[in-house]
């Protein structure tokens, strides 16, 4: 049986792989590139990050549970748009928006966790209501809004061939 510490390391590793592969995917979208393998890595690890988050000790509905549910819903939208509807018509921008939101949520949680676990950041915002935390989260949001708009405008890859 996996210890809570080992499970946490596994969950965080999935999250970091999802974040780094997701950054590559979003920049690929801005360059109108499909990046099939990196996209698969991003979607799989981000789904697994959300799913594994539900296996931590349960203490009622928390913001983390809500973020996990929202993440799975937007990931479902991205997966359907890409693999069921092959990015046809409106499914192209739905895929982009859902992918960017899923990545944003993963980064949002990483920032929250960083301010909780990294001593220097925790000292700046121990309750996460202080200006450094708010500025960090606002900066992340603005970056993702800009990347999202650019990706929606620029991601026009060749159609996916039907199987």
DSSP annotation string for 15-43: HHHHHHHHHHHHHHHHTT---HHHHHHHH
Q: How far is CA 23 from CA 19, 39, 59, in A?
A: 6, 10, 32
- Polymer length in residues for the chain: 163
**Model confidence pLDDT, tens digit, residues 46-90:** 999 999 999 999 888 999 999 999 999 999 999 999 999 999 999
- Six-digit token pair at 52? 């594994």
DSSP annotation string for 68-137: HHHHHHHHHHHHIIIIISTT-TTHHHHHHHHHHHHHHHHHHHHHHHHHHH-HHHHHH-TTS-SHHHHHHH
**CA dist., res. 95 & res. 87, Å (int):** 7
pLDDT recorded at residue 163 = 56
Percent over 70 (pLDDT), the chain: 97
Question: Quick one: pLDDT band at residue 160, thresholds 50, 70, 90?
Answer: low
Question: Quick one: pLDDT band at residue 158, thresholds 50, 70, 90?
Answer: confident
pLDDT recorded at residue 162 = 55
pLDDT recorded at residue 161 = 58
Q: What is the pTM of this model?
A: 0.94
């Amino acid at each position: 049986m996996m210890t809570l510490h080992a499970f946490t390391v596994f969950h965080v590793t999935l999250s970091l792989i999802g974040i780094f592969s997701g950054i590559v995917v979003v920049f690929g979208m801005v360059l109108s590139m499909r990046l099939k393998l990196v996209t698969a890595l991003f979607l799989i690890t981000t789904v697994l990050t959300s799913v594994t988050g539900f296996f931590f000790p349960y203490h009622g509905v928390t913001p983390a549970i809500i973020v996990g549910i929202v993440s799975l819903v937007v990931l479902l939208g991205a997966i359907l748009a890409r693999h069921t509807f092959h990015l046809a018509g409106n499914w192209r921008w739905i895929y982009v928006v859902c992918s960017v939101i899923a990545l944003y949520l993963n980064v949002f949680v990483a920032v929250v966790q960083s301010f909780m676990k990294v001593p220097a950041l925790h000292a700046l915002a121990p309750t996460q209501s202080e200006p450094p935390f708010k500025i960090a989260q606002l900066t992340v949001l603005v970056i993702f809004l800009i990347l999202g708009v650019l990706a929606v405008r620029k991601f026009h890859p060749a159609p996916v061939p039907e199987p």
